[in-house]
Amino acid sequence: MKTVKVAKPVRDVDGLLNALKKCDPPFSVVTVGADARSTFVYLQDDESKDPAPVVEGWMDAPEIRLSSNGKAGMMGVSEAFANGLDTHTVLIQKADPAGNVLPGVERLSVTSPQGVKISNASPRLQDGLAMVQVGPVEKCGDLVIEVSDRGGSLRVARLHLRFVSPPPTPPEEAPRPTPSPAQKTGLLATIRRVLGI
């Protein structure tokens, strides 16, 4: 097996692998891998064609990007309070691999294996954007939101969210008793007047 390294990162390595196999004539490709800076094409030893032009011309498919407005908690997971009132607002974007929002009007499906309430389980993108509310809930815990394109052209995206206990409410301070007339004129009052307190 021989390796061809191309200085272009590819996110959709499975798509590139299938494209190399469908070229005319097809490449004798074993697999494709990538890191943050390069793409690696692993070919059979007898393959003489160079896959670099195909890799350099490859455009990753648009994808769904998800983000939440909650405060980032442990492990970067967005958190909201499990108080029966708070929700997560989830922003859904159709984006290219560089993160640029792309226009789109696709119908989406938003689900959660945990069965949490979702404000709109079937939103439609408007100019590549949509928003949904997740929650509210009464119980603490982690959950996953899955968003897919009903047409199947975009990959499924997942976002981990967490509902946490609300902060304890501080106990109310007891009102101070009003001093009685005897307390105002007794020994304690005289000491306070002398000390100026």
DSSP output for 89-103: EEEEEEE-TT--B--
Q: How many CB atoms lie within 10 A of CB 43?
A: 21
- 196 DSSP 8-state letter: T
pTM equals 0.66
Question: What pLDDT, on the 0 to 100 scale, is given for residue 183?
Answer: 55
Question: What pLDDT, on the 0 to 100 scale, is given for residue 151?
Answer: 86
Contacts of 122 by beta carbon, 8 Å cutoff, 6+ apart? 107, 108, 109, 110, 150
Question: What pLDDT, on the 0 to 100 scale, is given for residue 186?
Answer: 66
Question: What pLDDT, on the 0 to 100 scale, is given for residue 174?
Answer: 66
Question: What pLDDT, on the 0 to 100 scale, is given for residue 94?
Answer: 94
Torsional class of 75: left (φ above 0), alpha (ψ -120 to 50), beta (otherwise): left
Q: Facing residues of 41 across strands?
A: 4, 32
pLDDT along the chain (197 residues), means of 10: 93 90 93 94 94 92 91 92 95 88 94 95 95 95 95 89 90 70 63 73
Which homologous superfamily does the CATH classification assign to the domain defined by 63-164? Answer: Immunoglobulins (2.60.40.10)
Question: What pLDDT, on the 0 to 100 scale, is given for residue 133?
Answer: 96
Contacts of 68 by beta carbon, 8 Å cutoff, 6+ apart? 78, 88, 89, 90, 91, 134, 159, 161
